[in-house]
Amino acid sequence: MLFSLLLPGCSNLFSGITAQLADGLSESIMSSSDIETVREGIPAFLLLIDGLLESGAKTPELLVSAADINGSFSVLVEDKDRLKILSAKAMRYSDQAACVAKSKLCRARELTFPEYQTVVANLSSKDLLVAYSLGTSWVGRLQANSDDWAVISELNRAKLLMERVVELDETYQDGRAHLYLGGIETLLPKLMGGRPAKGKAHFERAIEIEERFLLSKVIYAEQYARLVFDQKLHDRLLEEVLSADPVAGRFTLTNQIARKRATVLLESSKDYF
């Protein structure tokens, strides 16, 4: 049966999506080239934004920012328990944002799958802010809880939301919904039910929409090229990342993280392929 050995360690299904994609950090943080300073500085920023929200100013925009920064910070965190806390907080803020914005997505996660499908299908472009935020927080929750089958069971709900974001505006947030979808479609090889070809198309579209965002190429290499055993593509993508100028406005911080990961992947290329 084709099932064989899918099981052992399905709990690690999500470890491959390189990291929670960094979204929505303030311009100055995102433009920084100094990963360590940001790592040390963000907790203060998190406390600040929690405080702002507690003081009563709960707008969808602020809640989405709070969700994004909690989710984004996970890229710099290695402790698994801390990741779970951060992702749960991001999810809570995204959920709240949906309700404060009076979106159809408010409490939609509690619906049955067919009901949820209908809600998502009826979203419009005015829901993009909360839909994308909920989608990204959800992927973060999946990554942080990849040992929890009940959480893994939610994967297609998050995917459905990201697909709807792409339908409504594929260029939203520099086309990053494509990147999330690329990651999701390449979790499993074709023989185990994955859809790598579809994932590839999403990765390429994400790169077309915003080439300066170098993490796209890193995730494309790690998730797709390794999955289909295409060393040429793998090495080319990573070399492109390493030769590109990482300083690119709001992509700078993520690009620095992308370069670090690209170096590690390229070093292990010979051994893997």
Nearest CB to another protein, comparing residues 167 and 211: 167
Question: Smallest distance from the beta carbon of 183 to another protein, in angstroms?
Answer: 11
Question: Smallest distance from the beta carbon of 143 to another protein, in angstroms?
Answer: 12
Nearest CB to another protein, comparing residues 125 and 268: 268
Residue with tokens 């965190």: 77
Nearest CB to another protein, comparing residues 68 and 163: 163
Question: For the chain, how many residues are written?
Answer: 273
Residue with tokens 């992509």: 251
- Chain residues that interact with another protein, rule: CB under 8 A: 1-13, 15-16, 112-113, 148-150, 152-153, 155-157, 187-195, 226-229, 264, 267-268, 270-272
Question: Smallest distance from the beta carbon of 194 to another protein, in angstroms?
Answer: 8
Nearest CB to another protein, comparing residues 156 and 171: 156
Question: Smallest distance from the beta carbon of 179 to another protein, in angstroms?
Answer: 17
How far apart, in whole angstroms, are the C-alpha atoms of residue 223 and residue 200? 9
Rounding to the nearest 10 degrees, give the CA dihedral for residues 166, 169, 173, 177. 0
Question: Smallest distance from the beta carbon of 17 to another protein, in angstroms?
Answer: 9
Nearest CB to another protein, comparing residues 46 and 188: 188
For helices 128-144 and 155-169, angle between their N-to-C axes, nearest 10 degrees: 150
Nearest CB to another protein, comparing residues 11 and 256: 11
Sign of CA dihedral 144, 91, 176, 114: positive
How far apart, in whole angstroms, are the C-alpha atoms of residue 268 and residue 256? 19
Per-residue DSSP letters for 221-256?
IIIIIHHTT-HHHHHHHHHHHHHS----GGGHHHHH
How far apart, in whole angstroms, are the C-alpha atoms of residue 211 and residue 225? 18
Question: Smallest distance from the beta carbon of 186 to another protein, in angstroms?
Answer: 9
Nearest CB to another protein, comparing residues 82 and 190: 190
Question: Smallest distance from the beta carbon of 112 to another protein, in angstroms?
Answer: 8
Per-residue DSSP letters for 28-50?
HHHT-S-HHHHHHHHHHHHHHHH
Q: How many angstroms separate the first and last alpha carbons of the chain?
A: 26
